[in-house]
Amino acid sequence: MSSKIDTILESLTLEEKVSLLAGKDFWETVPVPSKGVPAIKTSDGPNGARGAVFTGGTRAACFPAAVCAASTWNPDLSRRVGNALAEETQTKGARVLLGPTMCNHRHPLGGRNFESFSEDPLLAGKLAAQVCKGLQEKGVAATIKHFAANEQETDRLTVNEIIPERALREIYMKPFEICVKEANPWAVMTAYNQINEVHADSHPLLLKKVLRGEWGWKGLVMSDWGGTNSTADALNAGLDLEMPGPTRHRSYKVVKDAVKAGEVSEATINDRARNVLELIEKVGGFENPEIPPERSIDNPEHRKLIRDVACQGVVLLKNNDGILPLKKEKIKGKKIALLGLAKEALIHGGGSASLHSHYRISPWDGLHAAYGDSVEFKFAKGAHTYRLLPPLASNCTDADGKSGWTLEFFVQGEKEKPLETIGGHKEASFSPLGGPGKDSRWKDLQLSTTFIPAESGSHYLSCSGIGPTVVTINDEVVYEQKHSSEDAMAFLFGGNPEEEFKYSFTKGEPYKIRIHSSPPGSGDAKDNGGILEGLPGFRMGFIPDKEHDEDLLSRAVDIAKECDYAIVFTGHTPVWETEGQDQVSFNLPKDGSQDKLVEAVASANTKTIVVNSTGVAVASPWISKVSAFIQAWFTGQEAGNAIADVISGAVNPSGRLPISWPKRIEDAPAYGNFPGETKDGQLTVRYDEGVFVGYRHYDRIAQNRVQFPFGFGLSYTTFSLKDGSVSQTARDSFKTSVTVTNSGKQAGGTVVQLYVGRAQKSPDHPIKGLAAFKKVFLDAGKEETVEMPVSLKDFAYFDEAAGEWKVDRGRYEFSFGQSTQDIECVVGVDVEGSRELKL
């Protein structure tokens, strides 16, 4: 600790120290100006620095999602992304970036998987470490999250996860361990969930014994937003900073009483305050205390980096008869059908990863830029994919005769005398953060309008609220929600499901529509507001039934028939794959519409290509009928350009899957134990698969139950591996090498993957685990010998009974391959082993 921190800490009163231990507001820490302590600002998120406003705020660069970055298998790119994210964070006046997210992909339906790198802890840890290094070498603190085991969104604030310690250490804590030891992140964010009946923010094993004990890490631990669940327990376990502010658990009175009662010592308060001060020092807060206004800087270097990462992250999964690439000279004068989500730029998932990007390149835009007038493109949507109906906005008049709605704020429980009235509200929705009005907390809201429909007939409506919500039309109740949202933040991110209902309107007739909504916890509703406690919010969607039920498929099939090629763009919009909710289904939304589109188009055109943009594996029942399949992930603001680069052959795809891709959800290792079972109001999920997550599970079952294996990806050229060798250079380290040959006709890249496992298979241990990897680029016909160091720690297991990391003596197989199912060289090595490893 610096003498400056010593001096400041000694000058602070107990009350001032306590004030540092919770945020000032949603994004900033509390300053103590009289003692020279400035506030510092944090910012979401993992794939860009959004700034303070959740929707429509300062524009920012949108980088590819972590799962896309992991598909590059390229640590150098991750380091450069970290550098760029640091620069983006600084443009938002922030010094702490809330990322990277690095929990494992436990199950394909995990709502936030896209934010995280991989199912494999080594790959995730290595790439996250480079992002952290890139951030911090430019003076911005990385915040690795969510520590630990935040693998599902269902009941994420309270779910109790029963995890064996071996699995916890080998799978779920291992990425964090690698990142801590290789990059020394300046901050760690705890998870919402409970682990073995203890909330992560007050977990002695995670925070005291392992993080600050065994790993020897020194830094700041902050809670996830609204994820502080206690006062004394969290302070004692090592949670330094409760976010956001103002505090819910660390008021001076509450903490002072805990100190007086002997529940917390002043020494502990000093430790927590010291960590806050040290973070301020690390990010330069004392040298330059100003928090500048947010700026939007569209940096050309960041544009190029985003496109490079996206191109290397795109994975070619199928390419029958070399249909791809569609070289410009090959398809000149042809007709190409661009179907499905071709005009949607699926650049990020929902929640903390969302931002107001500088721009969004859709596949339609990117392909037009790539091919110009050399081909003719035709478009059809082909499928209904909406999750939320658009808010009612047109043909509405407020109480003053202006276009829009009248918004009124009331004392809770009252409906007669508004505290504040605002006219001209744009649409039938209200956001609890950044919405109009002075202060909506603990107030009832009413939105009213006179609606004159443009056509007669039945119309679809939908509605949802954070708290109890009622919709009336001409004083008739047409919708009532009596409960609070299960996850208020999910409502904010647009992922809450909405109940659709019909209402018949007559063209030209006036209808009085009112939406009355209360804060969560009002009346008999359970309070699930969390950090949005007391804040109401709601939305009402509207669409004519003619548009809702329109036959989009027939038009798409007709266009596919008349074109030479058909490219179907499928995927998840942010409301389908988002923080706050797990996936609705393994099949693409909505209600099978996208699968039907692909099936029908493939039947109409034998040259059908599918480009899918999701952060997870999805069911692909049509895979045998299509000629090519590209997994594009969420590729950031350059999405359309990157997709066009791969389709046109301007870029030879080199992405490899960082996850396994099962054929059926029933074959997933956590199937039957996700998202858990509820008893007496408590959701509990058992991690009964133990360490057999991802390919560690699929290696033990029939390979024909895997659609695409971990590490898999095709190229427009071919590669082979030969002459694998392994030699032990010390008791705990090995030198490995293998020769890589580009046996094809053009330059390209592949990923050399080294797996290690016991020669004598054991039901207690995975058949093999990733121990090292390296991305290699070669010109056609060239070869290179690749060396990859390996240590015992890279294939050690945790012995729960002994409480030690071990490598047992015996023969091990070092397997060199280009996926878990494409092993080309196997070298047997007798390993002396080690009873106890100091990792």
Catalytic residue ranges: 224
Give the integer Cα–Cα distance in Å for 203 and 199: 6
The helix or strand, by DSSP H or E, that contains position 624, with its residue range, turns out to be: none
Q: Which class for 763: exposed (0-12), middle (13-18), buried (19 or more C-beta within 10 A)? A: exposed
* HEC sequence for 89-146: HHHCCCCEECCCECCCCCCCCCCCHHHCCCCCHHHHHHHHHHHHHHHHCCCCEEEEEE
- Is 30 in contact with 40 (CB distance < 8 Å)? no
Report strand pairing: 429-430 vs 538-544: antiparallel
Give the integer Cα–Cα distance in Å for 525 and 588: 33
Partners of residue 481 on adjacent β-strands: 469
Tell me how far CA of residue 116 lies from CA of 125, 190, 350, in angstroms.
Answer: 10, 15, 13
From start to end of 687-778, where are the E strands? 706-708, 719-730, 733-742, 748-758, 769-778
User: Tokens at residue 291, please?
Assistant: 């928090």
> Interior CA angle at 688 toward 684 and 693, to 5°?
115
User: Tokens at residue 513, please?
Assistant: 């529509």
Q: Residues near 594 by Cβ (< 8 Å), separated by ≥ 6?
A: 340, 383, 385, 570, 588
Residue 776, CB-side half-sphere exposure with 13 Å CA sphere: 27
Q: Residues near 750 by Cβ (< 8 Å), separated by ≥ 6?
A: 654, 656, 715, 719, 740, 775, 776, 778, 818
DSSP, residue by residue, 588-609: PTTTTHHHHHHHHHHHH-SSEE
- Is 736 in contact with 726 (CB distance < 8 Å)? yes
Q: Residues near 44 by Cβ (< 8 Å), separated by ≥ 6?
A: 50, 98, 99, 352, 353, 355
The helix or strand, by DSSP H or E, that contains position 44, with its residue range, turns out to be: none
The single-letter code of the amino acid at 289 is: P
Sheet holding 220-222, edge to edge: 42-43, 96-97, 141-147, 187-190, 220-222
> Interior CA angle at 551 toward 549 and 556, to 5°?
145
Tell me how far CA of residue 112 lies from CA of 115, 146, 193, 386, 428, in angstroms.
Answer: 6, 11, 14, 19, 28
